[in-house]
Structure 1
Amino acid sequence: MTGIGLIIKKRLLIVLMFFLTVIVLLLIRLVFIQVIDGEWYQQQAYEQQNSGIEIGAGRGTIFDRNGKELAVSASVETVSINPQEVRKSKKDKYMIAKGLADIVSMKEEDIIKKLDRKSRYERIIRKVDKDVGDRIRKWIKDEQLSGIYVVEDTKRFYPNRNLAAHVIGFTGTDNQGLDGIEATMDKYLKGKSGKILSEVDAGGREIPFSEQKHVAPKKGNNVVLTIDETIQYLAEKALEKAIKDYKILRGATAIVMDPRNGDILALTSKPDFDLNAPFAAPIGIDKSTWKGTTKKDIETLQKTVWRNKAVVDTYEPGSTFKAVTSAAGLQEGVVRPDSPVTDATVRVGGWNINCWRPNAHGNETFTEGVYNSCNPVFVRVSQALGIEKFYSYVRKFGFFDKTNIDLPGEAKSVIHKKPTEVDMAAASFGQRFQISPIQLITAYGAIANGGTLYKPRLVKELTDDDGNVVKTFQPESVRTVITKETAQTLRTILEGVVADGTGGNAYIKGYRLAGKTGTSETLQTKKYGRYIASFMSFAPADDPVICALVVLDHPDVYPHTGGMVAAPVAGKLVEDILNYLEVPRRYTEKDKDALQVDTTVPEVTGLTFENAKKLLNEKGLTYEIVNKGNTNATVVMEQMPKPDAIVPEKTVVLLYKYKPENEPTVIMPDISNQTIDEAAKTLQAAGLNIKAVGLGNAVKQSHPPGTKVIKGQLVEVVFRKLDTE
């Protein structure tokens, strides 16, 4: 018995322990349900007892730095149904399908499929205009329908269409950001959706006479960019003109930065697209087969108009990189501005490196070597530094890392991990490695501001609807790369590149512009053959407020160098920006000598010749009297140029003593390659006036040689320095 009793006690103890364990586990589970996961279960129960219709949240506005709207949310309507509620109403589903289809322009069968589903919520259509929503509301009321809902929604709208397309980006059908700032700042912009809630029974049917609850949507925050809408517009127009003038085949890029804090004032890539129709077929694509949503179509968009060349593309920087080599050499003391150098051929690893110019420059100072952009000069600087020291500066200037700009898809540079002497020699003048445009302008920003490398800043702050600042994104200093003294020395040298060197076609009268040309050849079908022309600049050279980079991919003209095609584009862009920023001009003696002051031709017909001469002299104009026979006219019968024409001072105005039946014409001479003085004399001898644009030799004239031109006509002639890299 004792043994049996002991066994029973053990069994009872086991059973007791089992039940205690179960109770403890149940208590633990209860704690989890009631305390730890309580809110989740409450939400599940709430949602089970309540049927909800989502109300879209207003997406935050995207502003430029001056408060101009770049992306806004417009009010639209979303139409949805509760199939269970519709069936419960006993209304004919075919009548409902036809009524909805007629109003929203959908197929009846598509709506019937949604009506036949067992769910409590089916979306019929999103983003219809308010007048469509009002028609549906009236129809619901007239037909006494239930289970059909029209609720307020939002639709993204871009007032400037393609302006800053690659910066702003766009949203999808559900208002989620898909590209650009819309994507990277989506968590701040998107807000929180609201709901219209109705109580339902266990079968999902709406409980009669139950009270509906409205959970208001919460609008997202506004994003204020560093972009300046006006500067962005100027940059885009500059590229559009360049693409037309120089027949650019593979797109172009322009970036404008404030070097003092890294703010991006403009960033554009061409081709681009209309933000209001991002899935539309690019120009040149067959629209008859285009859908815009297939995998093939999306890949086409990503390779063409969606491609942000300023950030996602890499290229060989060419001679624009020589500023980095110069900075390293000056900082380390291996070269001084007045150091004697030579452009004699350098042989590295069996490879001869020569100056780009067939007629060598010979012995020169380092400063002159930079002006002339002699490749051997920079190879020797890199050799004096050595591989380790040279590439330490490449790293300091940020070329081994992404800039982490607030845009998707930033490319990483392509640089040799274990560079050789040959790699370094080629890199010293910008070849055999690749960087992105945003990396290059970021590096130049450090030269312009006195030596500090800044992260490019695209987002300035977040605000609420009352204009209160919610979050500020401060400028981020990455590191100091060179001293202020080195930066100042290099800025002076780069100013000379524009004033006296290969960057002369970017010269601006009254503004001190510093910069460097670049021409690189890229691989095309496994061989070199496509050229990229670029110009990197900052201004004013002594106290820079902007950096500007222009990159033109495959100009189909000759010469196709950075100095010939990119420099004039950058120069005009910088001039327009400085004018907009109201930076005062400071004319040098050289500027004054080349300065053309425009004036307006006054109306002198009907005046006596004496009075006409006096008025023309007051306007800085000269004159020539044209007689026919022995006309004794005492007043001017006709004039050329016509009144109100804008012409340079000293233009010759022809004063006629008779009324010509037909305006007299002359044959337009060929002034190709002539200097400004030569062209002016040639045109004057032909009875024509000149308006000179640029410096150097004539490369373009507004009227083709050999054509008939009205005598006294103003001829616009474009001049370029031809000896450029």
Structure 2
Amino acid sequence: MLMRRRTRERSSNKEEITPAAAKRALLRRRAIVLFCSLAAALVVVSGQLFSLQIYRYPELIKAANGQTLRRVPSVARRGTIYDRNGRELAISIGTASIFVRPAEVEDPEGTSAALSAALSLPVEKIRAQLRSKKSLLYIKRSAPLEEAEAVTRLALKGIGFDAQSKRFYPKAQQAAHLMGFVGTDDQGLEGLELQYDAFLAGKRQWVVRQQDAKRRPIFREEADEAQGADLHLTIDEVIQYITERELEAAVSQSGALSGSAIVMNPFNGEILALANYPTFDPNLYGEASAFARRNRAVVDYYEPGSAFKAIVGAGALEERLVRPEDRFNGEGGAIEVGGVTIRDHERFDSLTFAEVLAHSSNVGAIKVGQRLGKSHYYDYISGFGFGNLTKIDLPGETPGLIRRPKEWSALSLASLSIGQEISVSPLQMLVAMSAIANGGVLVRPYIAQSIVAADGKVIRENTPMQIRRVISEDTARTLAAILKGVVTEGTGKAAAVEGFEVAGKTGTSQKTDRTTGRYSRQKVVASFVGFVPVERPQLAIIVIIDEPTTLRWGGSIAAPTFREIARESLKHLRKGPVGQEPLRLAEGIRHATFRLN
């Protein structure tokens, strides 16, 4: 009975669940499922947004900028190089590099023809570039701005250009070894362009271009112009031209391999001209040989030969071991040292010390060197700067070659007395002669007077620098008078300049034959180094003629070249003969005092 009652109660409860209640229960369950689904979706979306906006933000921004922004260098005008009188020697001109994005070109044939006409390039070359699989190719670099404007007017799809700056040397070959040159990226590679590249190039800056999906520009953020500083030199353009002209004539006349010449103010170290021949055009430096581009006046060395007798003479005079009137036995033109016979170019029986230098006697110079001795002679060789850099502001300078006395052989003292067993640069030899000219002080040579920023502010200014006193003023004055005799009575007569007193020394040195290791009988270096006028010198000049085939003596080819450079340079500087018009360059420096280091 009890079980039947319970069964009837359950049946009655089931009958109480109506359809409406069931529907409400179903809706409730669906709502719960939907809510859970939305909540789950919200969690997923929130997590994704967190990942995109927070976690992966730097990565995505970088990718977006890579597609829409283009960072390119701004057009930097390289600083101008001027001579001492403000004449332009190196300038920068505006150019453009035309480029193509092959994937964006819609009409390759029409585009090739149009660009060929605008850029004066073979249509086949352009057509091949337009078919390239690369994303970007330069059709023409350093094109004139007129060509870039012509391309712009064509409105060709996939074609554009970058504005750039190109170095130009308006004087072409003039002062080429001083200027040097720059590469396609406008970076200095040689000469002053390399030495002062950090100032001339200026600080590199960038601009940002925003572009659309087809890489068309939308917005450009401009940067200040990255203009380099200007360089003002000690070089005189006219004296440079005179030096180059006369040097070329001498090399051609003598059939020589090459030549070098330098003109310097002996008091303050300013280089007024520096030339080498053969030379090159820095606008077309890629077409020149390495030999033609080499600044041999600074980076090469040679045995100075008899010109070095001025150094042994300076030491002997300073040590009071000789006087101009002291006489030396010429030994009939030959002397034996260390088992080797050294001969003069002619027979001399008896010569004063002054005549030894004037007539360039080997025998006499060796006897002077023997009086001076190894230790003292080496001190004077070093004192005059040989074996050390002059520290001129040009790249690649050589210190030359000199051995210490402990490494000398029994023949070395004699050889050094006549300018053998030592190698010097033309610049070193000129600086040493300048010390004799200015009263006995070694000065540092330099090319750049000042570096001036675009706003006119002087960034750096070179001033004369005295390195050390090597001989006294009395010794320098005495030696200058003796070297004047080289021109008036001795081997340098062809160096005489009408109306001016000239002092100097000739040199004719044999070159070493690389195949035999001995001195060559055919290959020589002819030279003359001197200054003018003897009183209050204005110009110190050296001329080197390498391997002349005719006129093989320093007195026959280098000395007359010195004369022409000196005469024309003095004429340019508006000087009159001694005793007439005051010499302009000497004013302000003739009373200069020098201090010992």
Tell me the TM-score normalised to structure 2 length. 0.80
The answer for the alignment partner of 1:412 in structure 2 is 399
**Residues 43-54 of structure 1 mapped to structure 2, 5 A cutoff:** 50-54=69-73
The answer for the alignment partner of 2:147 in structure 1 is 132
Q: 134, 138, 148: which one pairs with 1:117?
A: 134
The answer for the alignment partner of 2:385 in structure 1 is 398
Identity of aligned residues (%): 36
The answer for the alignment partner of 1:509 in structure 2 is 498
The answer for the alignment partner of 1:293 in structure 2 is none
The answer for the alignment partner of 1:218 in structure 2 is 226
Matches of 1:372 and 1:471, distance apart in 2: 46
Q: Which has the higher contact order (CA 8 A, sep 6+)?
A: 2
Q: By how many angstroms is 1:481 displaced?
A: 1.1
Report if the CA contact (8 A) 2:248-2:278 is conserved: no
C-alpha change, 1:208 and 1:222, in structure 2 (3 Å) is closer
The answer for the alignment partner of 2:53 in structure 1 is none
The answer for the alignment partner of 2:572 in structure 1 is 580
**Secondary structure of the corresponding residue to residue 277 of structure 1:** helix
Report if the CA contact (8 A) 1:343-1:354 is conserved: no
Matches of 2:316 and 2:480, distance apart in 1: 14
Pairing 1:317–2:304 present: yes
The answer for the alignment partner of 2:426 in structure 1 is 437
**Secondary structure of the corresponding residue to residue 388 of structure 2:** coil
**Residues 495-534 of structure 1 mapped to structure 2, 5 A cutoff:** 495-524=484-513, 525-526=515-516, 527=518, 528=520, 529-534=522-527
Pairing 1:186–2:187 present: no
Report if the CA contact (8 A) 1:515-1:536 is conserved: yes
Q: 250, 258, 261: which one pairs with 2:265?
A: 258
**Secondary structure of the corresponding residue to residue 273 of structure 1:** coil
The answer for the alignment partner of 1:378 in structure 2 is 365
C-alpha change, 1:96 and 1:509, in structure 2 (3 Å) is closer
Report if the CA contact (8 A) 2:126-2:139 is conserved: no
The answer for the alignment partner of 2:94 in structure 1 is 75
Q: 550, 553, 557: which one pairs with 2:550?
A: 557
Q: By how many angstroms is 1:587 displaced?
A: 7.6
State the one-letter code of the partner of 1:76.
T
Structure 2 gap ranges (5+): 1-60, 581-597
**Secondary structure of the corresponding residue to residue 278 of structure 1:** helix
Matches of 1:450 and 1:215, distance apart in 2: 54
**Secondary structure of the corresponding residue to residue 516 of structure 1:** strand
Matches of 2:296 and 2:217, distance apart in 1: 60
The answer for the alignment partner of 2:14 in structure 1 is none
Tell me the TM-score normalised to structure 1 length. 0.66
The answer for the alignment partner of 2:9 in structure 1 is none
Q: By how many angstroms is 1:383 displaced?
A: 1.5
Pairing 1:156–2:167 present: yes
Q: Deviations over 1:412-445 (max 9, x none)?
A: 3122341223112111111122211111001111
Q: By how many angstroms is 1:148 displaced?
A: 3.9
**Residues 225-304 of structure 1 mapped to structure 2, 5 A cutoff:** 225-248=233-256, 250-280=257-287, 301-303=289-291
Pairing 1:168–2:155 present: no
Matches of 1:110 and 1:456, distance apart in 2: 54
State the one-letter code of the partner of 1:220.
G
Matches of 2:439 and 2:208, distance apart in 1: 60
Matches of 1:96 and 1:364, distance apart in 2: 85
C-alpha change, 1:313 and 1:100, in structure 2 (3 Å) is same
Matches of 2:95 and 2:523, distance apart in 1: 48
Q: By how many angstroms is 1:196 displaced?
A: 4.1
Q: By how many angstroms is 1:48 displaced?
A: 8.0
Matches of 1:209 and 1:58, distance apart in 2: 24
State the one-letter code of the partner of 1:131.
E
Q: By how many angstroms is 1:574 displaced?
A: 1.0
The answer for the alignment partner of 1:57 in structure 2 is 76
The answer for the alignment partner of 1:653 in structure 2 is none
**Residues 445-484 of structure 1 mapped to structure 2, 5 A cutoff:** 445-465=434-454, 467-484=456-473
C-alpha change, 1:208 and 1:332, in structure 2 (3 Å) is closer
The answer for the alignment partner of 1:536 in structure 2 is 529
State the one-letter code of the partner of 1:554.
E
Q: 343, 347, 351: which one pairs with 1:354?
A: 343
**Secondary structure of the corresponding residue to residue 182 of structure 1:** helix
**Residues 323-334 of structure 1 mapped to structure 2, 5 A cutoff:** 323-334=310-321
**Secondary structure of the corresponding residue to residue 276 of structure 1:** helix
The answer for the alignment partner of 1:494 in structure 2 is 483
Equivalent residues, number: 509
Q: 325, 337, 350: which one pairs with 1:363?
A: 350
Report if the CA contact (8 A) 1:194-1:214 is conserved: no
State the one-letter code of the partner of 2:154.
W
**Secondary structure of the corresponding residue to residue 470 of structure 1:** strand
Matches of 1:241 and 1:82, distance apart in 2: 52
Matches of 1:48 and 1:397, distance apart in 2: 64
Q: By how many angstroms is 1:44 displaced?
A: 11
**Secondary structure of the corresponding residue to residue 211 of structure 1:** strand
Q: Deviations over 1:468-522 (max 9, x none)?
A: 4221122232221111111111111111211122211211221011011111111
C-alpha change, 1:149 and 1:509, in structure 2 (3 Å) is same
C-alpha change, 1:226 and 1:443, in structure 2 (3 Å) is same
C-alpha change, 1:530 and 1:112, in structure 2 (3 Å) is same
Matches of 1:481 and 1:520, distance apart in 2: 25
C-alpha change, 1:66 and 1:209, in structure 2 (3 Å) is closer
Matches of 1:199 and 1:313, distance apart in 2: 53
Q: By how many angstroms is 1:565 displaced?
A: 1.8
Report if the CA contact (8 A) 1:101-1:111 is conserved: no
